[in-house]
Structure 1
Amino acid sequence: MVHHDQEVLAWLLDSDPAIRWQVMHDLLEAPDAACAAERARIETEGWGARLLSLQDADGQWAGGAFVPAGFTREEWKTSGQPWTATCYSLNMLREFGLDPKSESAQRTIALVGQNCHWDEGGQPFWHGETEECINGRTVADGAYFGADISGIVARLLGEQQPDGGWNCERANGSACSSFASTLNVLEGLLAYEQATGGTAAVSAARRSGEAYLLQRHLYRRLSTGQTADERFLALLHPSRWRYDILRALDYFRAASLFSGSAPDPRLGEAIEHLRSKRRSDGKWAPDWSLPGRIWFPLDDGIGHPSRWITLRAMRVLQWWDAARPS
């Protein structure tokens, strides 16, 4: 560790249970019992308890699956996409690490299955939506919390593009993949494999999606080698459906730990860019933020150090450096 890491770790631990238990587990390798005890506090304290308290009586958030009840296209145009409905609230609870076996989690998943229907099509929530990005995150949530999302997984396997990835614009005629859609689906498929053991078809699809991103070094155009989108190199949290290299690196870390494989050297450019974003105090800060309705902020905003981004960056670099010693 560099000289300021101990101070950064203390700063991370002086936080919410959702941060603390992951620091203990991912960075400090604390005993399982201690990690579990800290994780259990998410249900009753801090961000997790606060988000659960905002849940509707029928198990939804804000009265809708993808957008809040009564939300209008005009508000989307003027204020941005909202992030308070059920799907994004479940994303947050999964990211916090709410114990799937907890009473709150079990109750929520059952009620969402009974009462929540997608805005597009009206199908039950755990049957999936129509877009690959949304369905990838729904698979991740369902797999994590124990819902049956096997039907969505089968659909995603049938929607993979010839180049190996996925694209939400496929239904509109797109024949090539996108970075964001591909990562959303990959996260879902990995969660499905972690929860169920997966199948050979799921593993093969995930490897093809990973190859799509690795061939592009996580952020470059395959055709020219140029940066595909400058925002891929800009750090963001919460990511929602958006793509950046830290989110991609965190996925590849999780996939590597799951499979027992070494980090792919093609991640190296993104790793070095991530190192370059570290502040002199050893922390990382968001470069931008998404507009739109939120329940509550999770950090202090652009230009201020973010515990979420710092946690994710440190665990990625710790994994990379341990596996690829200099």
Structure 2
Amino acid sequence: MNDTVRWLLEGDVSIQYQTHSFLLNSDFAVCGQLQRRIEHEGFGERLVSCRNPSGHWGLWYYQPKWTSTHYTLCDLKQLGLSKDNQACREMVLRALDECQGDDGGLNFAKRPMPSDIAIDGMFLDYASYFCAEDQRLDKIAEFVLTQRKSDGGFSWDYQSIHGDPHTTICVLEGLSTFQKSRQHHILADAIEGGLRFLYDRHLCIDEDTRFTKLSYPYRYRYDLLRFLEFACVAQIPLNEHIEQALMWLISKQKHERWNLELIHPGAVHMQFESVRQPSRFVTLKALRILKHFRNISFI
């Protein structure tokens, strides 16, 4: 075990759990014990405790950023909270009851309006984690698939003929998590098309300087680290585009750790980490990616 892994194991229990699970391949008993602690300690406990008597976090499903129910559920899923957490399951099911339209999309606004495809993708990601058995998720996936642009991407803008990287990465994550319980070639085709959209735009590297900044939490925004994490988790075969992104990631390393470079502004329950300081979240993600694509062992 190297010094960086030891440093990760000195962090929040959610970091300890993911380090044992993703880097050390520890046995089920060790990982399960750590995962059960997330709800009761550290970042997980603080987020869960911010829930209001109404059941919501923040004011409503999407108000305000980033303390709303939607983004808090995103955060809790990212921390590795247990899939059977009752608070999370309750709010996913409520969202389906209260916000799902006839077309399958979700309207998290307090007035009639079409769903945001990026939100649909993010919801599908954490809802497929906490409530995989709910058949209403199929309607979301089916609706999202109808919104593919001709370039293979997805966009929140119904009028646009092109996809955008933010919506596309959100949808890719959602479809990939959903696919784990619903194998279907149409999902695989959509994921392949979304990746092709990103590849055709050279991973959007030159489109926004923030895309090459190391950030966490991602919120709804695309960046190279998020792309690499998706490629790792979805087990996308190594190719020249992933290789280019890996070289970028390696170049960001400082003393076997990675700094947090960007926090997306907005209201938060708490700050996980500080900009320009070594980040356990980013370092864990980077090592998980390198373990997968470079076959590095940390045991």
- TM normalised by structure 1 equals 0.82
Does residue 42 of structure 2 align to residue 46 of structure 1? yes
1:152 corresponding residue in structure 2:
140
Aligned partner (choices 84, 104, 123) of residue 138 of structure 1: 123
User: 1:39·1:98 contact (CA, 8 Å) conserved in 2?
Assistant: yes
1:181 corresponding residue in structure 2:
167
Q: d(CA) in 2 for partners of 1:207 and 1:112?
A: 29
Aligned partner (choices 164, 168, 175) of residue 156 of structure 2: 168
Q: d(CA) in 2 for partners of 1:317 and 1:112?
A: 36
Q: d(CA) in 1 for partners of 2:12 and 2:98?
A: 30
Does residue 245 of structure 2 align to residue 255 of structure 1? no
Of the structure 1 ranges 32-41 and 144-153, higher mean CA displacement relative to structure 2 is found in 144-153
Aligned partner (choices 18, 21, 25) of residue 22 of structure 1: 18
* Alignment gaps of 5+ in structure 2: 100-106
After superposition, residues 183-202 of structure 1 pair within 5 angstroms as 183-194=169-180, 196-202=181-187
Does residue 260 of structure 2 align to residue 286 of structure 1? yes
Q: Deviations over 1:13-43 (max 9, x none)?
A: 1111211111101111111221111111111
After superposition, residues 94-113 of structure 1 pair within 5 angstroms as 94-113=77-96
Q: State the identity as a percent.
A: 28
1:266 corresponding residue in structure 2:
241
User: 2:73·2:88 contact (CA, 8 Å) conserved in 1?
Assistant: no
Q: d(CA) in 2 for partners of 1:291 and 1:282?
A: 27
User: 2:124·2:140 contact (CA, 8 Å) conserved in 1?
Assistant: yes
Does residue 108 of structure 2 align to residue 118 of structure 1? yes
Deviation at 1:122, TM superposition (A): 5.6
Aligned length: 286
User: 1:98·1:105 contact (CA, 8 Å) conserved in 2?
Assistant: no
Q: d(CA) in 1 for partners of 2:108 and 2:91?
A: 16
Aligned partner (choices 287, 293, 298) of residue 314 of structure 1: 287
Q: d(CA) in 2 for partners of 1:192 and 1:114?
A: 19
Q: d(CA) in 2 for partners of 1:46 and 1:115?
A: 31
Rate the CA distance shift 1:122–1:142 in 2: closer, same or farther, 3 A: farther
Deviation at 1:177, TM superposition (A): 1.1
Tell me which amino acid in the other structure corresponds to 1:283. R
Deviation at 1:95, TM superposition (A): 0.4
Q: d(CA) in 2 for partners of 1:121 and 1:264?
A: 44
Of the structure 1 ranges 144-153 and 93-102, higher mean CA displacement relative to structure 2 is found in 144-153
Q: d(CA) in 1 for partners of 2:81 and 2:246?
A: 29
User: 1:60·1:115 contact (CA, 8 Å) conserved in 2?
Assistant: no
Q: Deviations over 1:219-276 (max 9, x none)?
A: 34xxxxxx222221111111101111010000001111xxxx6322321111101100
Q: Say what the alpha-carbon RMSD is for the aligned residues.
A: 2.0
Q: d(CA) in 2 for partners of 1:186 and 1:14?
A: 32
1:126 corresponding residue in structure 2:
none
After superposition, residues 205-244 of structure 1 pair within 5 angstroms as 205-220=190-205, 227-244=206-223
Q: d(CA) in 2 for partners of 1:50 and 1:56?
A: 13
Rate the CA distance shift 1:122–1:144 in 2: closer, same or farther, 3 A: farther
1:242 is paired with a residue whose SS is coil
User: 1:250·1:312 contact (CA, 8 Å) conserved in 2?
Assistant: yes
Q: d(CA) in 2 for partners of 1:228 and 1:114?
A: 38
Q: Which runs of at least 4 in structure 1 moved beyond 6 Å after TM superposition? A: none
Tell me which amino acid in the other structure corresponds to 1:177. G
Q: Deviations over 1:187-239 (max 9, x none)?
A: 00001011x2232222211111112123334234xxxxxx2222211111111
